[in-house]
Structure 1
């Protein structure tokens, strides 16, 4: 018997296909989130957790090869790999501190990708730059900072932006918004088709 309800198949395929494309050896975790619902989690190579809710029934909190889970969407769950999950998860949905137009998030992510491609091809100031250095510089850049009502500044790094863009989480309709959420040391971008979470050092900027 298939573990997925019919309406969740395309969502699971979209999520897992992108995860496997970014990391062929990735694992994916199915965590029950209420009657007839689970949250599908995975970790991207640059240290960001991504998640998507699905209509499904699973026997407890289980981890699998993302590639094997993708192959099983029309059938039974594959062999579990619970010992391969090594990361904590946020303990809740967090607090929404800002809403950003999804089009702005997508534009920032796409502009960063164009910049990296140009720098890789042409160098910076006429000097060649290694792909690893370019990637690290991209991911550590903070293109968005939001300020809460308590004057706390929350930096949104390209790690999160690239996660939601490359996972296809942002919707394309005009007026769609992305929620910025915080929960302890975690910062998230919650989009129409999934969420991305990154755990920092727990510090925030005040004033």
Structure 2
């Protein structure tokens, strides 16, 4: 019996195709999200969780290989890999603390990618820099900082920006926005086609 509603087949296929392109061995956790809804979760190679809601039905959480799931959209779920999932998931969506034009998020993501290409080709300050060092420095950069009503500053790193851009989550319409959400130690960018989540360094691995 198929777990996925036909109306969400293209959404699930797009999510899985981009995910497997970034990490061929990516795991996907399917989590019930209310009647007739399932949330697909996965972890990108740079430590960010990504999620997308689809129409479907699963009895309980189930972890499978993303590549296997992509081949099983019209049939039963593939072999369980529950013991391989080692990451916590936000326990709730959390409130919106800022709304950013989608065009600004795409611009920030594109500028970072261009910087990385230039640095890889020309070095930094005339000196060659290892590709991994460049990538990590880029991902740790904080291009966006939002402030909550109580004055708390919430950094939004390139890890989150690159996640939503490379997963194709950001809407392209003139009126599209990206919501910055917080949920306990998690910060999220919630977009038209999915969300990316990153946990504050040093926080407990709960929820």
TM over 0.5: yes
Tell me what 2:41 maps to. Answer: 41
SS of 1:18's equivalent?
helix
In the alignment, is the contact (CA less than 8 A) between 1:187 and 1:198 conserved in 2?
Answer: yes
- Provide the C-alpha distance between the structure 2 equivalents of 1:145 and 1:109, rounded to a whole number of angstroms: 15
SS of 1:161's equivalent?
helix
In the alignment, is the contact (CA less than 8 A) between 1:186 and 1:202 conserved in 2?
Answer: no
Q: Please report how far the alpha carbon of residue 136 of structure 1 lies from its aligned counterpart in structure 2 after TM superposition.
A: 0.4
Tell me if 1:82 matches 2:82: yes
Cα displacement string for residues 3-41 of structure 1 (whole angstroms, at most 9, x for unaligned residues): 111111011011011111111111000000011101000
Q: Please report how far the alpha carbon of residue 175 of structure 1 lies from its aligned counterpart in structure 2 after TM superposition.
A: 1.6
Tell me what 2:153 maps to. Answer: 153
Paired positions, count: 203
- Provide the C-alpha distance between the structure 2 equivalents of 1:201 and 1:139, rounded to a whole number of angstroms: 14
- Provide the C-alpha distance between the structure 1 equivalents of 2:69 and 2:37, rounded to a whole number of angstroms: 17
TM-score normalised by length of structure 1: 0.96
Q: Please report how far the alpha carbon of residue 201 of structure 1 lies from its aligned counterpart in structure 2 after TM superposition.
A: 3.5
- Provide the C-alpha distance between the structure 2 equivalents of 1:85 and 1:102, rounded to a whole number of angstroms: 31
Equivalent residues in 2 for 1:24-173, closer than 5 Å: 24-173=24-173
- Provide the C-alpha distance between the structure 1 equivalents of 2:59 and 2:184, rounded to a whole number of angstroms: 29
- Provide the C-alpha distance between the structure 2 equivalents of 1:195 and 1:25, rounded to a whole number of angstroms: 20
In the alignment, is the contact (CA less than 8 A) between 1:185 and 1:202 conserved in 2?
Answer: no
Tell me what 1:12 maps to. Answer: 12
The runs of at least 4 aligned residues of structure 1 exceeding 6 Å deviation read none
Cα displacement string for residues 35-84 of structure 1 (whole angstroms, at most 9, x for unaligned residues): 11010000000000000000001131100000000110122111110001
